[in-house]
Amino acid sequence: MSKDLCKEARIDTEHKPSCIGLIINEPNMRVRITSGYIRGINLSKLIRIYTKFDFRVIKLLRLFRILAKVCSEICLLKINYLISRHAISISQI
């Protein structure tokens, strides 16, 4: 693949089934390419059906994506804080 299109492409053999993980440059989106991922295919079909009946679903999904990013960042901050506190308490012993 061209370096202009993606970055950090790697084959993950520990994932079952094996997959290829990469980051697409233009929208800066992480992608996992795998075979046999029926759950993701069914979810995509379900979202497509819902959006045909109610256009607000797209806005709701965007909100979920934003909340997931914010929550993961908050969790990382808390984990880093706890690790640093633990490291300080260990060094004081």
Is residue 26, in this structure, part of any structural domain at all? Answer: no
Is residue 36, in this structure, part of any structural domain at all? Answer: no
Could you report the per-residue pLDDT of 10-64, keeping only the tens digit for each? Answer: 888 887 777 888 888 877 778 878 777 677 778 888 888 888 888 888 888 888 8
* Location of structure tokens 């996992």: 32
- What's at 59, amino acid-wise? K
Query: What integer pLDDT is reported at residue 3 of this predicted model?
Result: 61
Is residue 75, in this structure, part of any structural domain at all? Answer: yes
Is residue 91, in this structure, part of any structural domain at all? Answer: yes
Is residue 92, in this structure, part of any structural domain at all? Answer: yes
Q: What token pair was written down for 56? A: 């607000």
| Cβ-contact 18, 37 below 8 angstroms | no
Is residue 62, in this structure, part of any structural domain at all? Answer: yes
Q: How many domains does the chain have?
A: 1
Residue range(s) defining the domain that contains residue 90: 54-93
- Own/partner contacts of 60-64, CB < 8 Å, gap of 24 or more, are none
Name the residue among 56, 1, 61 with its Cα closest to residue 25. Answer: 1
pTM score: 0.42
Q: What token pair was written down for 55? A: 């256009």
